Amino acid sequence: MKLHHLKPAPGSRKDRIRVGRGESGRRGKTAGRGTKGAKARKNMPRWFEGGQMPLYRRLPKLRGFKRPQKESFAVVNVERLNEFRAGSTVGPDELRARGLAKKRGRVKVLGEGELTKALTVRAHAFSVGAVERIQAAGGTVEVVE
């Protein structure tokens, strides 16, 4: 036996099917795809949904935008300042230490509720109502830069 006598086992190798090679060939003309319709054509886009309204058009559009330079305040209401001793000075650091204001950002005092103690309140911003209530209780307001 020589090298040129070697053959693969019978039935282990098949000829590849040559599709779409003329009408006389076994798989010519429609090439085994039947006639017409989407499956007879080449390929469809991955996002094609059979003609129904596609997902990218069904979803709502993005509305508006978020301003990157927007200034956000940690908000504290006047009624929460009653936790401090009368006559003390309350600033952003004291508010953060008690957990009344977020760790980051500037602090703004709003006028919700009543203040019963005279306090010196220091913050980055105040609402008009907050200033009135603090001064009515005998306290003072200082704006921190």
Is the residue at 5 inside a domain?
no
Residue 64 falls within a domain, yes or no? no
Rounded CA separation 124/134 (Å): 15
- Which structural domain, as residue segments, surrounds residue 110? 73-143
Domain total in the chain = 1
The per-residue pLDDT for range 47-103, each reduced to its tens digit, is 888 889 998 888 887 778 888 888 889 999 999 998 888 888 999 999 999 898 888
Tell me the CATH number at 129: 3.100.10.10
- Asked, for residue 132, whether it belongs to a domain, the answer is yes
Residue 101 covered by a domain? yes
CA gap 35, 23 in Å, rounded: 14
Q: What is the pTM of this model?
A: 0.55
Query: What is the token pair recorded at 98?
Result: 């008690």
Residue 123 lies in a domain: yes
